[in-house]
Chains A and B, each alone.
Chain A
């Protein structure tokens, strides 16, 4: 009480007070653990990675400085082009569908009451807690070209069993579908939290005015849920740009040059071929791509939402 009084009565000394040594010290003590961890585990390795990308070096150990040669090689590398477009394709196939589907499911789940709501929500969330290896085995067997339980259905449409993970045009869409199934639970949770934050009084008022359900959605729910949508879209975008596990597992032994994403190119260069310098170069470029895309997306979407 008295603090606010002083602040309003004599603003200048109060502002000065903000920077008194004790407070700065306290702030430092609270922030320091994070800053140290962040610097040691993120900033330092990132700088090392950038430095490594200017070298011809094995995965671990010293190398020779070669300037921008790795970058020159990268832009001539056919595999980099393939990996880039595969990654973009995967992002297109997953980000918006996963967000919209999650919103639709969240609105549906939100209308349920009591234990029924918990049960349905749990059903959608359970896949999210599965490790990727389990997801791979489950779907691998369901789609197995000889014994998969889904093959009779596929044969109805295609006329014969289809090895989906060894048919190039089907590979990415199938893996994208599985990824959406696997990870959608978390997005639903975020949307439900967002929907619950919308005051029911607004809907009551709208209902009194005789507003249709669709109009309620477009005029109330959609604008008010927009910040959450932007958040989900951004999280999704970053996560899907880093796609590796599923594509690697389902593509292993197959035409990996045609199905690989950027992270897999990093893995192959650095870990399989022991070419740490080139792996770091791809990683730096991927890092820049993600930064540019997510900043752009976040800004654009936020601006649109504020209109």
Chain B
């Protein structure tokens, strides 16, 4: 009681004499991390605030992922009422920069905070630039993985001598494995989030990449030439699972996870961001089976998986510029987060910061180490103002790809419509 009274007194004195006491910088932070990874991020932010008490304080808000987040960023940037720092998908960077939502980060600012391009994979660092200017600092690489129920797979003879799933490569092989799992008493062979375009886009783009298909070619044409055929093939793979009852039709996101965690589907394709969900359930003893995660099998010519990158960006604040001190504090936050991103690997992600990614601790972290190969085989969304999270491409995935997977539109016709729609939006 006395102590808190004293604290109050000290605090009010400090407030009354801002010139004497060094002012604490409050950094307003927005993110969209509402999944299992959001809990990890909150822990990281708390750790930062504890270590920097009295100097910098992060005040974080989590907003709805996707379109709601990015429209809010867009409008708030235009009137100078945005946050000081925010998470941003690198796939969306061209769109964000073209709409003037992002503030350039100079090399001097980066150097002052102890960050340099050499600390990141070159492609990753370049993806954070538009026209040679840096607009973001990468934080992680994330992708989709294949979650598996080891007990069920072992019963179906799909676990190899090394303890990892085997016999899943190739379109026909994979489908036969799904059939075997279903015959073994599972409701579905695999659970997928089939009710929305975003999740289907990630699978589709991986399968397209495995055939070296280009969604958007260098001349700005969507699904040109034989890329259309490759896209149709990629769509057909998933549509066939649904058609034969091996994967659930039109299933919502939470339900698709529940099918896996509830033991009704022994395989599940979802982002690495759900690793914490599985870890936590297993730790509480509520999962009821041994789980693991591997990179997506190779369905076509070679391994490839869709990937995106969470990064930190600073929004433009038109008419409400922040002080140089605050910007320095923001850069410090960004640098600290990257240097402490080993904890972020607990959220399933692969750290973008090379010193952490190359550390022994990360190389032995499970399940990340099992699927960390996907950092090398990653295919990123096309770099275009029409692509990326909450972009016209994502909308088109909902309009054409999703119904094709669920058997409402024939894959051939769906891909042609998707191509024409997106081509029509090119200005």
Check if A252 sits within 8 Å of B196, measured CB to CB.
Answer: yes
Q: Mark A251-270, 1 if CB is under 8 A from B, else 0.
A: 01111111000000001100
Q: Which of B344-399 contact A (CB under 8 A)?
A: 390, 392, 395, 398-399
Q: Which of A121-167 contact B (CB under 8 A)?
A: 140, 144-147, 163, 165-167
Binds A, one of B32-40, B67-75, B113-121, B274-282: B67-75
Check if B252 sits within 8 Å of A272, measured CB to CB.
Answer: no
Q: Give complex CA distance A274, B403 in Å.
A: 27
Check if A60 sits within 8 Å of B79, measured CB to CB.
Answer: yes
Q: Give complex CA distance A61, B318 in Å.
A: 11
The answer to the question of B406 belonging to the interface, with a C-beta cut-off of 8 Å to chain A, is yes
Tell me which residues across on chain A come within 8 A of B70, comparing CB atoms. 272
Q: Give complex CA distance A267, B79 in Å.
A: 18
Option from B71, B403, B408 in Cβ contact (under 8 Å) with A272 = B71
Check if A254 sits within 8 Å of B390, measured CB to CB.
Answer: no
Tell me which residues across on chain A come within 8 A of B100, comparing CB atoms. 58, 61
Check if A271 sits within 8 Å of B71, measured CB to CB.
Answer: yes
State the Cβ distance, B32 to closest chain A Cβ, in Å: 14
Check if A163 sits within 8 Å of B249, measured CB to CB.
Answer: yes
State the Cβ distance, B406 to closest chain A Cβ, in Å: 7
Tell me which residues across on chain A come within 8 A of B251, comparing CB atoms. 145-146, 163
Tell me which residues across on chain A come within 8 A of B395, comparing CB atoms. 256-257, 268, 272
Option from A146, A166, A253, A274 in Cβ contact (under 8 Å) with B74 = A274
Q: Give complex CA distance A255, B99 in Å.
A: 25
State the Cβ distance, A237 to closest chain B Cβ, in Å: 28
Check if A254 sits within 8 Å of B252, measured CB to CB.
Answer: no
State the Cβ distance, A175 to closest chain B Cβ, in Å: 15
State the Cβ distance, A55 to closest chain B Cβ, in Å: 16
Q: Of all chain A residues, which has the CB nearest B98? A: A274
Tell me which residues across on chain B come within 8 A of A58, comparing CB atoms. 99-100
Q: Which of B238-252 contact A (CB under 8 A)?
A: 248-252
| Prevailing SS type, chain B contact patch | helix
The answer to the question of B198 belonging to the interface, with a C-beta cut-off of 8 Å to chain A, is yes
Q: Mark B395-418, 1 if CB is under 8 A from A, else 0.
A: 100110011001010000000000
State the Cβ distance, B31 to closest chain A Cβ, in Å: 19
Q: Number of B residues whose C-beta is below 8 Å from A? A: 32
The answer to the question of B258 belonging to the interface, with a C-beta cut-off of 8 Å to chain A, is yes
Q: Of all chain A residues, which has the CB nearest B200? A: A253
Option from B98, B99, B255, B392 in Cβ contact (under 8 Å) with A146 = B255
User: Which residue, B196, B252, B390, has most C-beta atoms of chain A within 10 A?
Assistant: B252
Tell me which residues across on chain B come within 8 A of A145, comparing CB atoms. 195, 248-252, 255
Option from B75, B392, B403, B421 in Cβ contact (under 8 Å) with A271 = B75
Q: Give complex CA distance A145, B399 in Å.
A: 19
Check if B399 sits within 8 Å of A258, measured CB to CB.
Answer: yes
The answer to the question of B146 belonging to the interface, with a C-beta cut-off of 8 Å to chain A, is no
Check if A253 sits within 8 Å of B399, measured CB to CB.
Answer: no
The answer to the question of B78 belonging to the interface, with a C-beta cut-off of 8 Å to chain A, is yes
The answer to the question of A273 belonging to the interface, with a C-beta cut-off of 8 Å to chain B, is yes
State the Cβ distance, B57 to closest chain A Cβ, in Å: 29
Check if B195 sits within 8 Å of A163, measured CB to CB.
Answer: yes
Check if A146 sits within 8 Å of B259, measured CB to CB.
Answer: yes
Tell me which residues across on chain A come within 8 A of B390, comparing CB atoms. 272
Option from B74, B258, B406 in Cβ contact (under 8 Å) with A147 = B258
Q: Mark B236-274, 1 if CB is under 8 A from A, else 0.
A: 000000000000111110010011000000000000000
State the Cβ distance, B207 to closest chain A Cβ, in Å: 19
Check if B196 sits within 8 Å of A254, measured CB to CB.
Answer: yes
The answer to the question of A59 belonging to the interface, with a C-beta cut-off of 8 Å to chain B, is yes
Check if A146 sits within 8 Å of B248, measured CB to CB.
Answer: yes
Tell me which residues across on chain B come within 8 A of A163, comparing CB atoms. 195, 249-251
Tell me which residues across on chain B come within 8 A of A257, comparing CB atoms. 395, 399, 421
Tell me which residues across on chain A come within 8 A of B94, comparing CB atoms. none
Q: Give complex CA distance A252, B196 in Å.
A: 8
Check if B255 sits within 8 Å of A253, measured CB to CB.
Answer: no
Whether A272 touches B67, Cβ cut-off 8 Å, given contacts A58-B99, A60-B79, A255-B398, is yes
State the Cβ distance, A248 to closest chain B Cβ, in Å: 9
Check if A256 sits within 8 Å of B196, measured CB to CB.
Answer: no
State the Cβ distance, A8 to closest chain B Cβ, in Å: 59
Q: Of all chain B residues, which has the CB nearest A255? A: B399
The answer to the question of B197 belonging to the interface, with a C-beta cut-off of 8 Å to chain A, is yes
Q: Give complex CA distance A147, B259 in Å.
A: 9
Q: Of all chain A residues, which has the CB nearest B70? A: A272
User: Which residue, A58, A146, A256, A267, has most C-beta atoms of chain B within 10 A?
Assistant: A146
Q: Give complex CA distance A23, B120 in Å.
A: 75
Q: Give complex CA distance A147, B67 in Å.
A: 26
Q: Of all chain B residues, which has the CB nearest A140? A: B252
Instruction: For the complex of A and B, list the 3 residue pairs with the smallest distance between their C-beta atoms, beginning with the closest.
Output: A253-B196, A163-B250, A60-B78
Residues of B in contact with A (beta carbons under 8 Å apart): 67, 70-71, 74-75, 78-79, 98-100, 195-198, 248-252, 255, 258-259, 390, 392, 395, 398-399, 402-403, 406, 408, 421
Q: A145-B255, A254-B196 are in contact. List 11 more A-B contacts (CB 8 A).
A: A59-B78, A60-B79, A140-B252, A146-B251, A146-B258, A163-B250, A168-B408, A254-B402, A257-B395, A258-B399, A271-B74
A-B pairs with beta carbons under 8 Å apart, 9 shown: A140-B252, A145-B250, A145-B251, A166-B250, A253-B198, A254-B195, A255-B398, A257-B395, A271-B75
